[in-house]
Structure formats: C-alpha cells, structure tokens
C-alpha cells in the first residue's frame, strides 16, 4: 500500500526551510563577529620625515604597528604617539649624529631635528659675543653636521724682543795670517714692541706688530783677521810659539788668548794629606787640573800655563779645584806623582787665559 505524495513533499519543504534558517543564523553570526572585530581595529597615521603612511591594524603596540607598516627604526631612532580626532598618530624621530667643536673641545652627540640653538642649550654650551658660530642658531641640525663655536679674542700686548748683533771682520797686519782676534765682543740689543694678537680658542693665530721702540742698541762684534807674516811652522818636538794673542802648539794647533797674568805656583798630587782623586767641582784629577782661589780665578777657566824660568810648560789647564792655602794669586798645579811635585817645587808662572 503506497503513502500519499503530499506527505513527502511537505517533509522536504520543512527540511529546506530548516537548512535556510540554519544558514541564515551562521551568516548572521559571522557578520556580527566581523562587525565586532572591525569596531575594535585602529587606524594609525605614521609620519616619517616627508613620508606619511596610513595603516589600520588590531595591534596596539607602536613598535608592532611600525613593523607591520614597514617602517624600520635604526639605532637611536625614536618616536612619539598622540591621539588626534579618534586617529592614532605616530611621529618617527630619526637620530642625527652631530659633531660639535666648542672652544677647541670636540663633542659627538645625537640630535632629533632641533635647531642649533636648542642643541647648544641641551648640551649646556653658552655662546657669548666673542664666539663665532659656523651655523645660525635657528638652523635645523642634520645628520653629519659639523658645528663649530670658536672663541675669538684680540688683545693688545707689549713685550720685549731681542735685536741680534752683527759680526764685522777687519784685516789687521799686526796679527799673523790664520789668526783671528776679537776686538769688540758683540752684544744683542733690546726692543719694546706693541702688537695686536688674535687668539682662537686660546691659541694664537695672528700677530700684527703696531709699534717698535729700541730700548738698547746692539753692539757689533768686531773680529780682526790677521794679514801679517804667517807664524813659523810648528815643530812637533819643539816648544809652543807664543805671540800677541795666540799660541802655536807643536802639533800645529793655534790657541787664542784674551789676556795674561802672573801667579805663584806650587804642585800637589792626589796622595797628599786631605786630597783624593775628586776635585772640589766633582771632576777627577788629571794632568791639567789646577787648584785656584775661585774668587780670583773662577771655576771652569781655561788657561795655558808656563813657568817664567822657561823650565816648565804645563800646557792647557782648567780651574777645577781649591785648597786651604790657595788665596789670591796662588795656584796649585796637579802632577800624577809626588816626585814630580818635589821637582816642580815653587815657581812663578804666567797664565794665558784662553778665549
């Protein structure tokens, strides 16, 4: 027995209506969820210099927003955030490396678009009327900027200056050929100067002399050049030839002397009582060391010594020692042995003071 077709059609229609209702509910729920999610999304306006980017996202962390929007930050870069009329703004501040030369000192710092004046104020660097700045105070700093602040001071200074003396030569037929004699010792002069001096960061950069006044005139050094008869040829085994102002040694060396004097001379050696190998001036005794009264003959004086009886040519000597009995025109000549001292004894000697 067959069921009526009307019942089957009714059931089919009910299933179709149920399917449509279920599908409608699912679509409604999906639409509601989408609308809810859209309601929580935010739009950000990102300003990076001349570049402006508008970006909508569910992210709330500015670093994440910048990353999603493709805006990368370098080291020392930063940003600021602000809500304007329901829109979030992010302003990127790019780091600018600036080198500041301030009064000769170098400072490397990071700036973020401020002016030169603002940067100097941030660094606590004062600028006065004596300063010269490479950029205007209202100039915006930029990456790689070399900013200079130089302190320039101009002063008027008075000081003394030396006037070097000149050397003049003149021929003298009374002096043997090859011998020179100083007739007039040279002496430098003095000058008082006034100058305008410019200092940059404490270092002198320019000096302009304004006035010069001679306070002491220089004295020329006058040297006589011998044009007379040449001195006799040296005899290596002979005695020195002593002329007027010169001494020709047997070796051929010519010494010049400025003046001469006569003293009473005795002899001493390092083994004498109270003596040793060290002189009063700290040198080591040797042939040529002589003890003097330093008030009469200053230490360090070089002399050529001969005995007036012609028996002793002591030769070149230096005043380096002293003694209790050496007063005034008394002198002790050093000899290496006691026997040599006894042989010399006490003699009158002539001192030629070497120039």
pLDDT of residue 15: 76
Residue 322 has pLDDT above 80, yes or no: yes
pLDDT above 70 covers a percentage of the chain that reads 92
Residue 228 has a CB neighbour count (10 Å cut-off) of: 15
- Please enumerate in sequence order all residues whose Cβ is within 8 A of that of 125, keeping only pairs 6 or more positions apart, or say none: 100, 102, 149
Task: Give the span between the Cα atoms of 224 and 74, in whole angstroms.
Answer: 82
- Please enumerate in sequence order all residues whose Cβ is within 8 A of that of 94, keeping only pairs 6 or more positions apart, or say none: 48, 49, 74, 77, 112, 113, 143
pLDDT of residue 237: 65
Retrieve residue 92's tokens: 């990127």
Task: Give the span between the Cα atoms of 182 and 263, in whole angstroms.
Answer: 25
Question: Confidence band (pLDDT; 50, 70, 90) for 33?
Answer: low
Task: Give the span between the Cα atoms of 279 and 32, in whole angstroms.
Answer: 117
Report if pTM > 0.75: no
- Please enumerate in sequence order all residues whose Cβ is within 8 A of that of 107, keeping only pairs 6 or more positions apart, or say none: 99, 100, 123
Retrieve residue 157's tokens: 């200074």
Mean pLDDT for 106-130 is: 92
- Please enumerate in sequence order all residues whose Cβ is within 8 A of that of 155, keeping only pairs 6 or more positions apart, or say none: 196, 197, 199
Task: Give the span between the Cα atoms of 9 and 42, in whole angstroms.
Answer: 52
pLDDT of residue 23: 80
Question: Confidence band (pLDDT; 50, 70, 90) for 1?
Answer: very low
Give 62-92 pLDDT, tens digit per residue. 999 888 888 999 888 999 998 877 788 999 9
Residue 13 has pLDDT above 80, yes or no: no
Residue, of 203 and 5, whose pLDDT is higher: 203
Give 226-242 pLDDT, tens digit per residue. 887 766 555 566 788 88
Using CA atoms, how far residue 316 sits from 255, 319, 321, 347, in Å, is: 10, 10, 15, 17
Residue 38 has pLDDT above 70, yes or no: no
Residues of 78-108 as b/e, b for ≥16 C-beta within 10 angstroms?
A: ebeeeeeeeebebebbbbbebebebeeeeee
Give 175-224 pLDDT, tens digit per residue. 777 778 888 999 999 999 999 999 999 999 999 999 999 999 999 999 98
């Amino acid at each position: 027995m067959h069921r009526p077709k009307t019942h089957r059609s009714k059931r089919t229609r009910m299933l179709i209506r149920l399917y449509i209702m279920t599908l409608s509910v699912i679509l409604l729920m999906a639409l509601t969820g989408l609308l809810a999610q859209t309601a929580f999304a935010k739009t950000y306006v990102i300003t990076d210099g001349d570049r402006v980017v508008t970006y909508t996202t569910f992210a709330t962390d500015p670093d994440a927003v910048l990353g999603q929007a493709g805006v990368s930050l370098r080291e020392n870069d930063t940003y600021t955030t602000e809500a304007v009329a329901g829109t979030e703004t992010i302003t990127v501040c790019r780091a600018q490396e600036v080198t500041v030369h301030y009064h000769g000192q170098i400072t490397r710092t990071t700036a973020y678009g401020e002016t030169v004046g603002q940067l100097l104020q941030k660094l606590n660097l004062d600028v006065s009327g004596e300063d010269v700045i490479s950029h205007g105070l209202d100039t915006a700093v930029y990456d790689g900027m070399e900013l200079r602040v130089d302190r320039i001071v101009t002063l008027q200074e008075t000081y003394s200056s030396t006037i070097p003396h000149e050397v003049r030569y003149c021929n003298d037929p009374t002096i043997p050929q090859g011998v020179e004699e100083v007739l007039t010792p040279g002496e430098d002069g003095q000058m008082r100067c006034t100058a305008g001096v410019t200092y940059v960061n404490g270092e002198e950069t320019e000096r302009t002399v304004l006035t010069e006044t001679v306070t002491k005139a220089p004295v020329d050094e006058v040297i006589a050049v011998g044009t007379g008869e040449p001195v006799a040829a040296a005899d290596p085994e002979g005695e020195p030839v002593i002329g007027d102002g010169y001494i020709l040694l047997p070796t051929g060396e010519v010494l010049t002397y400025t003046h001469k004097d006569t003293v009473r001379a005795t002899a001493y050696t390092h083994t004498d009582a109270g003596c040793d190998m060290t002189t009063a001036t700290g040198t080591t005794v040797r042939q040529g060391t002589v003890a003097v009264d330093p008030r009469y003959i200053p230490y360090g004086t070089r002399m050529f010594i001969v005995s007036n009886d012609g028996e002793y040519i002591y030769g070149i000597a230096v005043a380096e020692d002293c003694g209790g009995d050496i007063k005034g025109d008394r002198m002790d000549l050093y000899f290496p042995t006691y026997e040599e001292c006894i042989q010399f004894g006490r003699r009158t000697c002539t001192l030629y003071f070497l120039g």
